[in-house]
Amino acid sequence: MPPQAMSENTMLLKPTLHVEVAVKRQPSSLLEVKTLRADLKQWFVDRHVTVKIGQDIIVDGDEQCLAIVDHVGVADYTGPLNLLGYYGTESVQIDLQTYVLRSETDTDGRRSIAQETDGGVPQARVLALPSVALKDEWDSLVFDDLLPSRLLRYMTRMVGMMRQPGLSLAAFNWNRLCLLHGPPGSGKSTLCRALAQKLSIRLGDAFPRATLIEINTNAMLSKYFGESGKLIGATFERIYAAAQDQGTLICVVMDEVETIAGSRERSTEGGECGDGLRATNQLLTALDRLRHLSNVIVLCTSNLIGAIDQAFLDRVDIKQLIPSPSPAAIYNIFRSCLNELLRSSLVSTTTVQVTARKTVTRGVSKDPRRTKIQAVSSSPEPWAVISAPEVPTFSEVQIELMDKPQSAGYRVWALAQRCEGFSGRTLRRLPILGLAMYTWGGESVTLDNAISALEAAVNQELTVAKAKGADTDMHDG
């Protein structure tokens, strides 16, 4: 086995800490990139004995490093579970990747976001990775288990193993095709894009360049009979051409894949015209052609896995259910929204007496709801002003529950338990919707006010859901 291949594979099997370093400029030659990574790795290990996942490493005070580095993050850990969450940098392998975030108009003059259109309809969005546009997607997702990290690990290994020199791809049925399915708004599309972004960083050694191609599956269905298959064929022909550069990782994302991979059996039974059937056939042929290119990964999403053609499902290597968030995940979604409102000063943690006095002086409103919020907020108990700078983490709140039953954390946790079944999309909307609907602008809104507004928004959403449920029961009856 060539030494390089050996070291790559051994690396994948050892407990590994993944460190991502955003640099101001990537060196032009591969040798310089390798030297930079080795230097940064040494710098990292020398200064940090133990680190935690999610930790941002402070570069302040190191002039030489500051000149090169924008951000250092301890991104992930691959290996046996460590309940403490701290890792000794000497006892694990460090996989340090450097990357430059690509903005919409990059300095190399190439637009990093482009639309592939046909007759004005965008058929695909092409994005150079890693992209500024996707920089927050990974961290915005909240799941109970380490689902995103697990998927990322599978895919990294999938690509790593397939690049083993001398390995005959024909011996395996391995398409590098992943399907995320589950209820609407559970984060499937966001996770696909976030995975593509992470893969472009994680696989930076093997692929100096990476591109995301998001296919607009709805635009693939033509109003002209027989055209859909041709549109799919032409789009995949372009992907095939782009993938000829083996140094470029190509991540293809297809949302609502059932649109073009619908069951052919169903469409024949339903007496549909042969266009859907041809579209599915064309897609299957195109995927079979891409199978031999180890630099292509295809990520798909669907809300209707039952409507997908069996031959397509048979080609999928990883089928992953993405469920609606659990109460613990809901707590963390609300927490991140409220903390963002605090961070941006739309909501404050400071005492409300100031607000109340201001309002009295201006003599603004006699609205009873507003008066109630002010009165409640300025009373010391049980709505005491939160001294913590932000809403506590989920594990902190579990401890807090024991002695502070009316704390911000407690109230948010109580709400989270009532919201089980809500989609991630709805959950991310409620805190800001509540603020818009149930608080007044032009003055400081406290965290307590924001949580009260969130409660009101949740109540409204539950009423709508209940009414919808009753309506469905009536129709079913």
Ligand X SMILES: Nc1ncnc2c1ncn2[C@@H]1O[C@H](COP(=O)(O)OP(=O)(O)OP(=O)(O)O)[C@@H](O)[C@H]1O
Q: Is 278 in the site for ligand X (CB under 6 A)?
A: no
Q: Which is nearer to ligand X, 87 or 422 (CB)?
A: 422
By CB under 6 A, what part of segment 340-369 binds ligand X? none
Q: How far apart are CA 439 and CA 453, in angstroms?
A: 7
Q: State which of residues 123, 175, 190, 222 lies at the interface with ligand X (CB under 6 A).
A: 190
Q: State which of residues 48, 181, 188, 202 lies at the interface with ligand X (CB under 6 A).
A: 188
Q: State which of residues 130, 148, 160, 187 lies at the interface with ligand X (CB under 6 A).
A: 187
Q: Is 52 in the site for ligand X (CB under 6 A)?
A: no
Q: Is 142 in the site for ligand X (CB under 6 A)?
A: yes
Q: Which is nearer to ligand X, 215 or 243 (CB)?
A: 215
Contact 175, 291 (CB under 8 A): yes
Span interacting with ligand X, options 57-65, 183-191, 271-279, 464-472, rule CB under 6 A: 183-191
User: How many chain residues touch ligand X (CB under 6 A)?
Assistant: 19
Q: Which is nearer to ligand X, 190 or 217 (CB)?
A: 190
Span interacting with ligand X, options 136-144, 171-179, 379-387, 432-440, rule CB under 6 A: 136-144
Q: Which is nearer to ligand X, 243 or 297 (CB)?
A: 297
Cβ at position 357, least distance to ligand X in Å: 38
Query: What are the distances in angstroms from CA 385 to CA 118, 170, 349?
Result: 57, 65, 7
Span interacting with ligand X, options 67-75, 84-92, 179-187, 275-283, rule CB under 6 A: 179-187
Cβ at position 178, least distance to ligand X in Å: 14
Count of beta carbons in the 10 Å neighbourhood of residue 13: 11
Q: State which of residues 43, 143, 331, 394 lies at the interface with ligand X (CB under 6 A).
A: 143
Cβ at position 145, least distance to ligand X in Å: 12
Q: Is 18 in the site for ligand X (CB under 6 A)?
A: no
Span interacting with ligand X, options 101-109, 139-147, 313-321, 341-349, rule CB under 6 A: 139-147
Q: Is 325 in the site for ligand X (CB under 6 A)?
A: yes
Q: State which of residues 203, 257, 299, 333 lies at the interface with ligand X (CB under 6 A).
A: 333
CA angle, 346 then 351 then 352, to 5°: 75
Secondary structure, 3-state, the chain:
CCHHHHHHHHHHHCCEEEEEEEECCCCCCHHHHHHHHHHHHHHHHHHCCEEECCCEECCCCCHHHHHHEEEEEEEEEECCCCCCCEEECCCCEEEEEEECCECCECCCCCECEEEEEECCEEEEEEEEECEHHHCCHHHHCCCCCCHHHHHHHHHHHHHHHHCCCCCCHHHCCCCCEEEEECCCCCCHHHHHHHHHHHHHHHCCCCCCEEEEEEECHHHHCCCCCCHHHHHHHHHHHHHHHHCCCCCEEEEEEECCHHHCCECHHHHHHCCCCCHHHHHHHHHHHHHHHHCCCCCEEEEEEECCHHHECHHHHHHCCEEEECCCCCHHHHHHHHHHHHHHHHHCCCEECCCCHHHHHHHHHHCCCCCHHHHHHHHHHHCCCCCCCCCCCCCCCHHHHHHHCCCCCCCHHHHHHHHHHHCCCCCHHHHHHHHHHHHHHHCCCCCCEEHHHHHHHHHHHHHHHHHHHHHHHHHHHHHHC
Structure tokens given for 405 = 């039953």
Long-range pairs, 74-77, Cβ under 8 A, ≥24? 74/17, 74/18, 74/19, 75/18, 75/19, 75/20, 75/198, 75/201, 76/17, 76/18, 76/149, 76/152, 77/15, 77/16, 77/17, 77/18, 77/53
Span interacting with ligand X, options 34-42, 181-189, 228-236, 390-398, rule CB under 6 A: 181-189
Cβ at position 343, least distance to ligand X in Å: 17
284-303 footprint of ligand X as x/- string (CB under 6 A): -----------------x-x
Q: Which is nearer to ligand X, 305 or 356 (CB)?
A: 305
Q: Which is nearer to ligand X, 164 or 339 (CB)?
A: 339
Q: Is 184 in the site for ligand X (CB under 6 A)?
A: yes
Cβ at position 71, least distance to ligand X in Å: 21
Q: Which is nearer to ligand X, 72 or 329 (CB)?
A: 329
By CB under 6 A, what part of segment 145-164 binds ligand X? none
Cβ at position 137, least distance to ligand X in Å: 8
Q: Is 185 in the site for ligand X (CB under 6 A)?
A: yes
Q: State which of residues 140, 173, 350, 472 lies at the interface with ligand X (CB under 6 A).
A: 140
* Closest residue to ligand X, based on beta-carbon distance: 424
Q: Which is nearer to ligand X, 312 or 334 (CB)?
A: 334
415-434 footprint of ligand X as x/- string (CB under 6 A): ---------xx--x------
Cβ at position 329, least distance to ligand X in Å: 6
Residues that bind ligand X (CB under 6 A): 140-143, 184-190, 301, 303, 325, 329, 333, 424-425, 428
